A and B are shown apart, each in its own frame.
Chain A
């Protein structure tokens, strides 16, 4: 056997291996091994003595593509070759039903978010108007039901102090106090009207919000499934990073103002498991938590 004959055999086996890349790894190893054995036995039998003999041997074996095709045909029980399976395959294309994270974020910010005066509600309103799942009418309703959000009403009420009344008293010549006329500043509803209005203002946005979320959810369920890449095996949707983001964005902001929400924001954006929408919701919450201490300071000074 010349070196050139060895090269011909090596080239043949290389082509076979290449063609067999479509087979399961253990099947590929087995097949290539058997063909290599066959060649070795032919050589041991002394029937391959020159280059012509090698070429004849390989001709009798057949084209690598044909052998691999036969191997695939001989496995009817195996699923047809799928380039999306196997150890080096990209993740299988999967679909998910559309989520309503944006809408939930909008409603939460426009209701509970108004605990941070003005800013929280405004962030929610931006998300509300960015959503495709609300009609214009619903957006106007949600915006106008309580502009500024339910808790802003309390905040504004606290700043204005409602109605304050004062009366001046003077001392007359005999040293007696004389009650002057009572003057009132500001405006207040009479209690019989003010209390129900306040309750409606506080509860209304939550009721409207719940109603709108149900409609958004119904519309989302009718939408086409969204193709998503399955996360790598073993990547849970809620790993340590995501839990850390939630903790930092929620209670963290009260414990360590500014730093915790920023940390949570970083965690949210580097998370491999969350979608972009979820990350933007996290961003909205983070900006809320960043403004919370500022709003608190402003309120104290006023």
Chain B
């Protein structure tokens, strides 16, 4: 990470969105830490370094949006499974609505995406 990148708007945007991506993944099923990190890491452009996801998971746990349980594994050390909580689902629902509006608006201004076309079509 280059100096000052913490203030980089894209870094901030990615950080803000990433936690809801975690919640979205956990909304489908319980996932253990390593697996969760790998799945997020495999999404293009979402995660710059896998290690930075763990502090995010800690915060989600402290905020009560996810809960964790330890489970024995047949191969390897015990696994810490992450599950979304009711509060997490509520936050995720709120974000999903806001994200669609936000995405469409940004797309319109940038001239990218479908939102722009729709708006232009309806305008014309």
Interface residues of A (CB under 8 A from B): 27, 30-31, 34-35, 37-38, 40-45, 60-67, 69-71, 73-75
Contacts and interface: CB of A to CB of B under 8 A. Distances in A.
A38 B76 contact: no
A60 B80 CA distance: 20
Interface centre among B34, B54, B56 (most CB of A within 10 A): B54
A38 B15 contact: no
Interface string B48-60: 1111101111110
A63 B58 contact: no
Contacts of B116: none
B34 A41 contact: yes
A45 B1 CA distance: 28
B59 A38 contact: no
B89 interface: no
Given A44-B76, A60-B41, A66-B1, A38 B56 contact: no
Interface residues on B, range: 20 to 34
Nearest to A42: B34
19 contacts: A27-B58, A31-B58, A34-B33, A34-B57, A37-B33, A38-B33, A38-B37, A41-B32, A44-B75, A60-B41, A60-B49, A60-B50, A61-B51, A62-B48, A62-B51, A67-B55, A70-B15, A73-B55, A74-B59
A63 B5 CA distance: 14
Given A27-B58, A44-B75, A71-B58, A66 B34 contact: no
A6 to B, nearest CB: 16
B37 to A, nearest CB: 7
Nearest to A57: B50
